[in-house]
Structure 1
Amino acid sequence: MSARLYRLPAVVRRLILIAWDALAWILGMGVFLSMRNEAVAPDQARWVLIYTITAVALQVIAGLGTQQYLGRNRIGSFIDAASTGFVVGGIALLAGTAFVLAADDFPLRAAVALPCLALIFMAAARLAFRAIVESRPRSAAANAVPAVVYGAGNAGHQVATLMDLAEDAPYRIVGFVDDNRDKRNLRVRQHKVLGLGKDIVRVAKERQAQAVILAISAASPDLIQRLSTACDEHGLDLMVIPPLREMVGGQVTMGSLRQLNVADLLGRRPIKTDLSAIADYITGKVVLVTGAGGSIGSELAAQVHRLGPAKLILLDRDESALHGVQLELYGNGLLDTDDMVLCDIRDEDALRRVFLQHRPHVVFHAAALKHLPMLERFPEEGWKTNVLGTRNVLRAAYAVGVERFVNISTDKAAAATSVLGRTKRLAERLTAWYATEYQVPYLSVRFGNVLGSRGSVLIAFRSQIEKGGPVTVTHPDVTRYFMTIPEACELVMQAGAIGRPGDVLVLDMGEPVKILDVAKRMIAESKKDIEIHFTGLRDGEKMHEVLFSEVEAGSQSEHPLISEVHVPALDPDDLAYDSEEGISQMLDAEPTGNPLSSTSAKVN
């Protein structure tokens, strides 16, 4: 019946709804007149009839005016019910008051009882319609994969609605589990909550489920890991919904359901940021991003763009990278606008001209050389870009009065043992000097590996797996901190809002993860038989990264996921200008902290 109704033209369905609501007033009048104990005088009956006709006219006018009859709300939804109640209430107040004051023979009780009766008939029809729609048989039930849904909250309700109403739903829900004991007897669209999360395997076996759908957008990596292990052991496919920030409008769609990937295990922490504080220093301002074509720079550019800056300047030395980020942000890659700047931060004169032309208020400095083994081989290149290049950007920024400067650093700057770490440490110190010397909010933000960035271990592993292996891991015990690019950039922007002059803000990276576990997970996802070879730690590489060295004392900032640490300032005039002298200065300038934080052990 409901399917036939939905196949009717929209105008016919809307006319049926209008007719029913008009009939509801007439039925209400009939019930009202039949329930009166005394006989109704002809004059009273006439006024009740006129009142009803007036109410029907007002109902149609108000329904069309509020677009209630034009498909604004889903019939039978809470919003539809509330809208209908407001319309009927408004009619009762307006028409009832007018008739009571204008007609002595109009019975007062009609002004109260008749709208209530009409509303009951309207609501009953909508409730019946919704019950019929929601109980209609699914066309794809015979071919769909039986699945248990983990999570009976809002996301779980959305998943159930999707699967029950879709014509070709890939899954057939056979039950729910939820960690909240209070939901033990809850039914989600007629699907019963059959147990707690720990009962997932038992429930799946009892209901002959072949898949589990994790319907918790803010699920912790620990929960995902435990559920993934249980599903792997018992041959269940695990599907997940993405984190809330990846869903359009916070809504689960059929396309957003996907198989578990390694990023879900490493970087699904809910990040809460104060958007008003971030917007205060970005919205309506000229913002410049160096290294805008890189993984971090391009994501920073995207997040800044959403906050409505007066102008967003994207600077990079790689024209292809600029082309890609312009396509991503604006849908074209013509590279013919002055906000796309091709410039190398090593070229101080060119950089100064860019800053003088655009006069940015805010700078995010993400340009850097970051590949550790390459910089170990070519330390002078790291010196030129990461140290002298940062000095050039700082000089240009201060010269044009940049209000806020955020230098993107790395956890390798803590207890630095590599060229990468040492150059980024010096960049932090240069930023601190400008901040303390001129009392301006220039600061650095330090974080670890980001998932999916160019050159990251995930990219390397995926390439090796696609080629059939082997997957190379430096050491079976080596660990690293991980977070996703959006998470890192959200916190970088938050750090820019709360950081004080000269701060080095350290992002909470969660718990370190064994690289070997990441490799095993990605191999398992590929369903290929691939070997893992251990190559040994490379020069300058640590067994375990640290976020603070022994000589640094971190303290809590205003944000629970951001700590702050002090680094000694370094006057840019004290920098060596010759590359060889600079490398010597770089190696001798900073203590490495705990020498046991890295190891030269090799695995052959």
Structure 2
Amino acid sequence: MFGNSLLVRTTALVIWDVLAWIAASMIVSGLRYSWDLSRVDWVAIIVYTAIAMFIFFGIGFATKLHIAKFRIGSFEESLWLSSTVFVSAVVSLAISWFFPPGDTFVPIIYAVTLPFLVIVLVLSGRAGFRVLKNYMRRGSPEAKPTLLVGAGTLAYQIIRLVEDDPNSAYDIVGMVDDAPNKRHLHLGSVRVLGTLEDIPHIVRKHNVAQVLLAISNADRKLVNRVSELTGGATGPELLVMPPLSEMAGRSTDLRSMRKINIMDVLGRGQVQTDLSQIAGYINGKRVLVTGAGGSIGSEICRQVHKLGPQELIMLDRDESALHGISLDIYNNALLNTPDIVLNDIRDYEALRKVFETHRPHVVFHTAALKHLPMLEQYPEEGWKTNVFGTLNLLRLAKEFNVDRFVNISTDKAANPTTVLGRTKRLAERLTVYFAKESTGKFLSVRFGNVLGSRGSMLWTFQKQIDEGGPITVTHPDVERYFMTIPEACALVIQAGAIGRDGEVLVLDMGEPVKILDVAKKMIALQNRPIDIVFTGLRPGEKMTEVLVNEGDTEERPFHPLISHSTVDEIAPEDLEGIKTETLASELDAYKRGAGVTADQVQGGV
């Protein structure tokens, strides 16, 4: 009916505004003077009105007020229209006052009343257009009844997008919000129907097929609450907007909506970081990231890239992983530039060439072997990468005067009982040693499990679900700390800014979560039966992880989610003795725990 032609829109608005000025003039003249005016007064009124109209449309076309500058009927358009009408009336009155036609001044009552009535008529026409457009809007035949959770800015943006899209797949029936001051709120043609507790009733009453969480960075408690109120996997489809960290500067878009996943259920809201602190040590600097193709390394690369480094050197021994992160960041994967480095941190001489070529200012060391049972079977491989690979980097960082060295550690380094924990603990202690020997700032950052990393528990569970089960859990009471990859990396980069030389910074992982509960929630999201099988704790595996050693000091002087702790240093020359003794005991422990011979341990089982 209305069309999308800019010419039609502009013409219609101009005609309406001309009629509004004429009608306002007639109404004011009729009500105030019953049209009983002398010819001279009529001339003054006509001249005043004509000048005001000329100025109004002149400003309108100069500022494109009538040419799709604003959404019709929006607050912004109303403000501009009102201001333009008043400016036009004031200027016209001034001209009429200093240059009166026929030495007759325009009646002051007419001059004051006219602009107010013009504004009423101009805005009423636009408001009526909006109401009629919304009433006659035809959504997609497949549009599903949708309930919005939240009645804030994001909800308003979503409603506007849906109203402007004639083919939208969403038919918004209403909103729910717990805020008392929003109980009777209307956003466009959509109103608040109740609070979160009213969701089950609203879903039944309006036959809701989709529930959209219209709250930016909702925490897991809210996500879980809404999921329970909607009936979980058996109720309406629950959709969310990605966190701001995932939006990467993109505006709100209906295509951004996605189904709820386990990371929404277990994750936290957006982590607050101090960009001024972060930019200070990354912007304009050469930054080296080891393990750049891994889950943590690749996300650090993405976040560092946004901070404007002089050069981002991405190092990994996996060429396919380098291909992936290069494509992700640069939208190409030519792999023919010197900042994409295929290298193994075990190879000291090859690593040295990298430092000689690029001379990095900042190093994020994420490269590591991390699979606990694999390292229990092959402990020497853990030593080669996690200990001696780290030592290679630390020596070169000292020699080439790296300004900041951030070693990524794990919660298993606290009171370690496994090869992974012991090797990462030694990497922390080596970092402390080189912090005292070097001019730059050397520190470690320790955190627990990250959600969705390659080969992680969630990745394994999802593969098992895709295969129809069963899901394997070691013990019904085992629990772990969890954090999403983006929030962990944001805090790692922040820790690099606030950490003091030789410290171990421990990220706040929130409350520990039972692995069994995670498995049950993942199954609930699938809405199909999947068995869970308990396999028993593996050798050296803890029932509950800790983030700091017993007796270690812990303080949070700079950031509420980052604790500062300390560990004892260890000199490189002391490693060999520890290695010989430790490897023997680790192999023996694995042999006893797995029920295999020492020869099988060395050669593989």
Compute the TM-score of the two structures, normalised by the length of structure 2.
0.89
Which string of whole-angstrom CA distances, capped at 9 and with x for unpartnered residues, describes residues 14-39 of structure 1?
Answer: 22223333443333443444455596
Question: Do residues 17 (structure 1) and 16 (structure 2) align?
Answer: no
Secondary structure of the 2:396 match is helix
Change (3 A) 1:586 1:499: farther
Worse-matched range after superposition: 43-52 or 528-537 = 43-52
Worse-matched range after superposition: 100-109 or 539-548 = 100-109
Contact conserved, 1:298 with 1:325, CA < 8 A, in 2?
yes
Secondary structure of the 1:408 match is strand
Alignment of 1:379-398 (within 5 A): 379-398=379-398
2:74 maps to: 77
Secondary structure of the 1:505 match is strand
Alignment of 1:247-258 (within 5 A): 247=247, 251-258=251-258
Output the CA distance in 2 between the equivalents of 1:449 and 1:377.
21
Output the CA distance in 1 between the equivalents of 2:316 and 2:183.
56
Change (3 A) 1:414 1:41: farther
In structure 1, what residue type is equivalent to 2:211? V
1:172 maps to: 171
Following superposition, the deviation at residue 176 of structure 1 comes to 2.9
Contact conserved, 2:96 with 2:106, CA < 8 A, in 1?
no
Following superposition, the deviation at residue 85 of structure 1 comes to 2.9
Worse-matched range after superposition: 354-363 or 484-493 = 354-363
1:87 to 79, 84, 89: 84
1:507 maps to: 507
In structure 1, what residue type is equivalent to 2:182? K
Question: Do residues 201 (structure 1) and 197 (structure 2) align?
Answer: no
Change (3 A) 1:493 1:233: closer
Output the CA distance in 2 between the equivalents of 1:403 and 1:188.
52
Contact conserved, 1:266 with 1:482, CA < 8 A, in 2?
yes
Output the CA distance in 2 between the equivalents of 1:520 and 1:234.
12
Output the CA distance in 1 between the equivalents of 2:326 and 2:137.
47
Change (3 A) 1:48 1:264: same
1:62 to 54, 59, 62: 59
Output the CA distance in 1 between the equivalents of 2:472 and 2:233.
29
Secondary structure of the 1:79 match is helix
Output the CA distance in 2 between the equivalents of 1:91 and 1:583.
87
Contact conserved, 2:220 with 2:268, CA < 8 A, in 1?
yes
Alignment of 1:441-520 (within 5 A): 441-520=441-520
Contact conserved, 1:315 with 1:342, CA < 8 A, in 2?
yes
Output the CA distance in 1 between the equivalents of 2:216 and 2:479.
26
Following superposition, the deviation at residue 280 of structure 1 comes to 1.9
Contact conserved, 1:214 with 1:238, CA < 8 A, in 2?
no
Alignment of 1:24-173 (within 5 A): 24-37=20-33, 40=37, 42-43=39-40, 45-103=42-100, 105-107=104-106, 109=108, 112-140=112-140, 143-173=142-172
Contact conserved, 2:376 with 2:586, CA < 8 A, in 1?
no
Output the CA distance in 1 between the equivalents of 2:131 and 2:507.
49
Q: CA RMSD in A?
A: 2.9
Worse-matched range after superposition: 312-321 or 166-175 = 166-175
Alignment of 1:177-256 (within 5 A): 177-232=176-231, 235-245=234-244, 246-247=246-247, 251-256=251-256
Secondary structure of the 1:82 match is helix
2:336 maps to: 336
Following superposition, the deviation at residue 69 of structure 1 comes to 2.8
Secondary structure of the 1:558 match is strand
Which string of whole-angstrom CA distances, capped at 9 and with x for unpartnered residues, describes residues 66-106 of structure 1?
Answer: 23333232111112222223433443454444443444644
Following superposition, the deviation at residue 139 of structure 1 comes to 3.4
Which string of whole-angstrom CA distances, capped at 9 and with x for unpartnered residues, describes residues 235-278 of structure 1?
Answer: 41241323431346575433233322111111132311112221
Output the CA distance in 1 between the equivalents of 2:9 and 2:68.
10
Output the CA distance in 2 between the equivalents of 1:233 and 1:271.
27
Output the CA distance in 1 between the equivalents of 2:112 and 2:563.
62
Extract unaligned runs of 5+ from structure 2. 588-592, 596-605
Which string of whole-angstrom CA distances, capped at 9 and with x for unpartnered residues, describes residues 422-441 of structure 1?
Answer: 11112112222233444633
In structure 1, what residue type is equivalent to 2:26? G
In structure 2, what residue type is equivalent to 1:512? P
In structure 2, what residue type is equivalent to 1:203? I
Question: Do residues 545 (structure 1) and 541 (structure 2) align?
Answer: no
2:420 maps to: 420
Secondary structure of the 1:486 match is helix
Change (3 A) 1:584 1:27: farther
Contact conserved, 2:478 with 2:543, CA < 8 A, in 1?
yes
2:274 maps to: 274
2:364 maps to: 364
Following superposition, the deviation at residue 539 of structure 1 comes to 1.9
Output the CA distance in 2 between the equivalents of 1:70 and 1:254.
26
Following superposition, the deviation at residue 325 of structure 1 comes to 0.7
Compute the TM-score of the two structures, normalised by the length of structure 1.
0.89
Which string of whole-angstrom CA distances, capped at 9 and with x for unpartnered residues, describes residues 202-239 of structure 1?
Answer: 33234443443332233221232233234337941241
Contact conserved, 1:536 with 1:601, CA < 8 A, in 2?
no
Change (3 A) 1:394 1:52: farther
Following superposition, the deviation at residue 8 of structure 1 comes to 4.8
Contact conserved, 1:444 with 1:505, CA < 8 A, in 2?
yes
Following superposition, the deviation at residue 57 of structure 1 comes to 3.4
Which string of whole-angstrom CA distances, capped at 9 and with x for unpartnered residues, describes residues 489-530 of structure 1?
Answer: 111111122212122111111111111122222223333332
Secondary structure of the 1:363 match is strand
In structure 2, what residue type is equivalent to 1:223? L
Question: Do residues 308 (structure 1) and 308 (structure 2) align?
Answer: yes
Change (3 A) 1:86 1:340: farther
Change (3 A) 1:563 1:348: same
Output the CA distance in 1 between the equivalents of 2:573 and 2:64.
69
Output the CA distance in 2 between the equivalents of 1:186 and 1:397.
59
1:597 maps to: none
Contact conserved, 1:138 with 1:165, CA < 8 A, in 2?
no
Worse-matched range after superposition: 66-75 or 417-426 = 66-75
Contact conserved, 1:243 with 1:268, CA < 8 A, in 2?
no
Worse-matched range after superposition: 226-235 or 374-383 = 226-235
Worse-matched range after superposition: 335-344 or 159-168 = 159-168
Secondary structure of the 1:69 match is coil
Change (3 A) 1:31 1:520: same
Output the CA distance in 1 between the equivalents of 2:463 and 2:161.
35
2:598 maps to: none
1:440 maps to: 440
Change (3 A) 1:307 1:54: farther
Change (3 A) 1:417 1:132: same
2:554 maps to: 554
2:602 maps to: none
Following superposition, the deviation at residue 182 of structure 1 comes to 3.0
Worse-matched range after superposition: 320-329 or 232-241 = 232-241
Contact conserved, 1:277 with 1:497, CA < 8 A, in 2?
yes
Following superposition, the deviation at residue 454 of structure 1 comes to 0.7
Contact conserved, 1:149 with 1:213, CA < 8 A, in 2?
yes
Following superposition, the deviation at residue 332 of structure 1 comes to 0.7
Output the CA distance in 1 between the equivalents of 2:527 and 2:325.
33
Output the CA distance in 2 between the equivalents of 1:492 and 1:35.
72
Contact conserved, 1:426 with 1:586, CA < 8 A, in 2?
no
Output the CA distance in 2 between the equivalents of 1:322 and 1:234.
37
In structure 1, what residue type is equivalent to 2:63? T
Output the CA distance in 2 between the equivalents of 1:586 and 1:356.
37
In structure 2, what residue type is equivalent to 1:544? T
Output the CA distance in 2 between the equivalents of 1:234 and 1:258.
15
